[in-house]
Chains A and B, each alone.
Chain A
């Protein structure tokens, strides 16, 4: 589906924990897939802000994102009210690959849970076995919707055990680079494919500015790929981790 510039309306905005807001946006958008993101105009800032889609209600064309307060841009967006206009580009980026008969482990670290929630929903619609584990620093940072929640420790602490217990065949994850890197290494060791959704500061969000580059190793050759257009989903094993 082509990306477009939509002017949507805030259907609802809810504070769901200490510093995360859930925005439901009503617009003309016909479809989008888990893993994709939108790029939202913040009139008080130079650049748009990218957010993973955390839910999509096809029937009512309501798209949801989670906004974690970080700076002035997110502060502005959190101050929006019902029926306010919101200008966004969507849908952007690639999406998660599905495997019908594989048991999937979904790992969300912090706000990285956002695309995992949408992925879980889509997997359930497709009757794919899945298990979502998420990790948060503190109780008041928890975002609901997981099968298991880790608070305080690392979401990766007992991950190998979990992979074996649940007979996991494929892993999907989003969160800080350090988590994605370690998880990819574990997956590689266990010979399980691992798909990671990357977060980056973006300028254009449509692949032209080359501002959000990630280096991948394919066929023994290192090349630049843009997180916004070629990603945000990449195979963990192909990423040249720092």
Chain B
């Protein structure tokens, strides 16, 4: 494929734990399915990895009612962590990831510390290389985001997951906080190897139509994503970069090559693509190819070299 120069190694310098990726571009959780759902549209060898749909202990049916609300340059979702549950994931979804040789981060979410511990144990038992811990889903009533917004409970949570899991541990942070630096520090001190950020922002979508002398109203509260959140994501990634040494996987409104460069300057070591997958289903592989072409054309021998040039020049 000739994408050697995109090879990316995320490394926790303190523990020397690493995650090797074919490219720095990852399909974000909730937008890429469980395994090979996008194979009609992309070459599965042409991008870094997928982050799986968020997996909980039990199967979840998610929220009733409208789940999607389109806004200007963005999208509000309230899926509510619908997923097959860890047992069905291991039995039905994992074999396909292995068979098709798709690198992945297992994204997990829980309502209690015990849930996360159990999921970590199962990940360890199944020799899963990388775990992305969702402590920031705004769409579930209990747990999840509660851990993600309090540095002390987040530190405890990460420490307990770390005890049960030896692979590459990534914690996904919420932007819905006034102090992202404190959360990032808690994650690093708790023993995580990497931070991914940002999850969706809390948003409220309202649509009002005036029909037949009446206002028809519709409101959807959920997580906001898409290109409209990019400035927030850049800010948050930059704040995290100032607070910790571990690598950062950045996401939030990425849809083109320039976005990757901007996030590198803000502090990113790799990227996730989310909402843009819905509009351009080939984007994860296309962006990797575009980045590769750019690097060949401009003589950047590897991704580290490119990062260094953007940050230091």
Contact = CB atoms under 8 A, between A and B. Distances in A.
Interface stretch (A39-47, A123-131, A162-170, A173-181): A39-47
B77 A4 contact: no
B243 interface: no
Contact of A46 (B31, B32, B37, B70): B70
A198 B80 CA distance: 22
Given A201-B66, A211-B77, A211-B79, A3 B41 contact: yes
23 contacts: A3-B40, A3-B41, A5-B41, A5-B281, A5-B282, A47-B278, A48-B279, A201-B66, A201-B70, A203-B275, A204-B281, A205-B278, A206-B41, A208-B32, A209-B278, A210-B67, A211-B67, A211-B68, A211-B77, A211-B79, A212-B68, A213-B82, A224-B61
Interface string A209-238: 111110100000011100000000000000
Nearest to A41: B279
A207 B67 contact: no
Contacts of A204: 31, 277-278, 281
Contact of B75 (A47, A205, A206, A215): A47
B226 interface: yes
B30 interface: yes
Interface in B67-108: 67-68, 70-75, 77, 79, 82
Interface of B: 30-33, 37-38, 40-41, 53, 61-62, 66-68, 70-75, 77, 79, 82, 226-227, 275, 277-282
Nearest to A89: B281
Contacts of B66: 201
A2 interface: yes
Interface in A1-15: 2-5
Interface residues of A, number: 27
A210 B53 CA distance: 10
A114 interface: no
A156 B37 CA distance: 39
A202 B278 CA distance: 9
Interface in A54-107: 89
A4 B40 contact: yes
Interface of A: 2-5, 41, 45-48, 89, 201-213, 215, 222-224
B31 A208 contact: yes
A210 B31 contact: no
A179 to B, nearest CB: 19
A46 B67 contact: no
B94 to A, nearest CB: 17
A225 to B, nearest CB: 11
Nearest to B42: A5
A221 B146 CA distance: 32
B37 A203 contact: no
Nearest to B33: A208
A203 B226 CA distance: 12
Shortest 3 CB-CB contacts between residues of A and residues of B: A211-B68, A208-B33, A204-B278
Nearest to A1: B40
B79 A47 contact: no
B278 A48 contact: yes
